[in-house]
Amino acid sequence: MSPFPSAADSCLEAQGPREAMARRFAQVRAHSLALAEPLSAEDQCIQSMPDASPTKWHLAHGSWFFEAVVLRAHVPDYRPFDERFFYLFNSYYEALGPRHPRPLRGLLTRPPLAQVLAYRAHVDAAVQSFITRGGEPMWQQALPLLTLGLQHEQQHQELMLTDILHALSCNPILPAYAQPALASALRLAPTVVPPLRWLAGPAGTVQIGHDGGGFAFDNETPRHSVLLSPYCMADRLVNCGEYLQFIEDGGYRRPELWLSDGWAAVQANGWSCPPYWLAPDDVRAPARHWQVFGLQGVRALDASAPVSQVSFYEAAAYAEWAGARLPTEFEWEAACAVPGIAQMTGHLWQWTRSSYDPYPGFRPLAGAVGEYNGKFMVGQLVLRGSSSATPAGHARPSYRNFFPPGARWQFSGIRLAKDA
């Protein structure tokens, strides 16, 4: 079965496009609220570092995007909920004017959460009205932007989880985002970890980039040919048991395993394990074994679970230690079609050995949304796949996620590759 189901999309297309969009809009927007539901207004307000944003800000910014890009531009009689929000909840769109400084997002106790929810409702109503009643020319113009807005909302849904997890991890009492389900308790029985297998990937000339069906971001285009030398891919992600061996073998103390910038990060920040791991003597939750903090709070380290929240530096050092390397983003994309390959999506984003450079012939979208992807194409590494925090239906083989090499708060893991 393909790891990239398109059933939902197919289903939508059986309806008229306006009905399909109305339903999809409602579904996606509702999911954001569902993610925020376990959190108090206090939880939703704070910002634990400049790279992360408050839950409430994410909720507002998703609405801002529809307001700024769809409603203001395509709905002549649209009345903004609050003019000040145009400034407060802009993220980084220079073409749309100045904005509240990113590091200060956590100081916005006002508007209060209730008002942000009212803002969402206001925008939802206006968008749904436009979907239903907007004139045809405007509708045709706005449709790609509505679609983009929903993809954008979904990206922030994942960030809501990564960011709140980081915030909670800064609290010494390590509170859980959500209570563990009973079922998960049963998982404590030791898992049998299958040995990692190497699968040959497609080599020679391969087609890379979005193939034209369904939505894709501009950075996945144009589709083009790439030459690949023979290579093998690991059939699954590196797991916590394997990563623990790396640690116990002195992985964080051996400079020869690390890229120069990575070793500098290890030393400057005192890294000795992934950021949410608790060593047995951790004062916050003493135990006889390693533990891992996650959305369900502190739990015993599960050797069979993929290691998560590692930086590119750690991924590359682990690969060096394991006598392998990270795959390029092209190898990763080509390997999606290899029978037997597992954990490509739905578990963890996977660091590749590819810098986030433009594809040959890349052109950003026109207008303000041209700032969406292209202007970040330097200093970042590509991650492929998707994670357990990625909304259903949001992933595809050509998807290019990207973060700086030192980022350690995403659901990011390690897949190995090697030359054949």
Pick one of 13, 19, 94, 249: the residue that binds a copy of itself (CB under 8 A).
Answer: 94
Task: Compute the C-alpha angle 155/72/88, nearest 5°.
Answer: 60
Q: How far apart are CA 241 and CA 257, in angstroms?
A: 19
The structure tokens listed for 64 are 């801002």
What CA–CA distances, in Å, run from 131 to 73, 140, 144, 354, 369?
Answer: 14, 10, 12, 40, 20
Q: How far apart are CA 394 and CA 5, in angstroms?
A: 9
Q: Considering beta carbons, is residue 256 or 281 the nearer one to a copy of itself?
A: 256
Pick one of 107, 200, 342, 392: the residue that binds a copy of itself (CB under 8 A).
Answer: 107
Q: Considering beta carbons, is residue 89 or 139 the nearer one to a copy of itself?
A: 89
> Using the rule CB under 8 A, is 391 a contact of a copy of itself?
no
Question: Looking only at residues 118 through 147 of this chain, which bind a copy of itself when binding is defined by CB under 8 A?
Answer: none
Pick one of 76, 172, 190, 339: the residue that binds a copy of itself (CB under 8 A).
Answer: 172
Site string for a copy of itself, 274-313 (x = CB under 8 A): --------------------------------------xx
User: 339 φ, ψ to 5°?
Assistant: -60, 140
Sole window of 23-31, 135-143, 292-300, 378-386 interacting with a copy of itself (rule: CB under 8 A)? 378-386
Q: Which of 318, 329, 313, 316 is nearest to 405 (CA)?
A: 313
Q: Which of 157, 169, 126 is nearest to 34 (CA)?
A: 157
Q: Considering beta carbons, is residue 46 or 69 the nearer one to a copy of itself?
A: 46
Residue 226: Cβ within 10 Å count? 18
Pick one of 70, 167, 278, 298: the residue that binds a copy of itself (CB under 8 A).
Answer: 167
H or E element, residue 294: strand 291-294
User: 405 φ, ψ to 5°?
Assistant: -65, -20
> Using the rule CB under 8 A, is 88 a contact of a copy of itself?
yes
Pick one of 8, 30, 33, 104: the residue that binds a copy of itself (CB under 8 A).
Answer: 104
Give residues in contact with a copy of itself (CB under 8 A).
Answer: 40-46, 48, 84, 87-88, 92, 94-95, 100, 104, 106-113, 167-168, 170-173, 175, 205, 224-229, 255-256, 258-263, 312-313, 316, 328, 353-358, 360-361, 375-379, 381, 405, 419
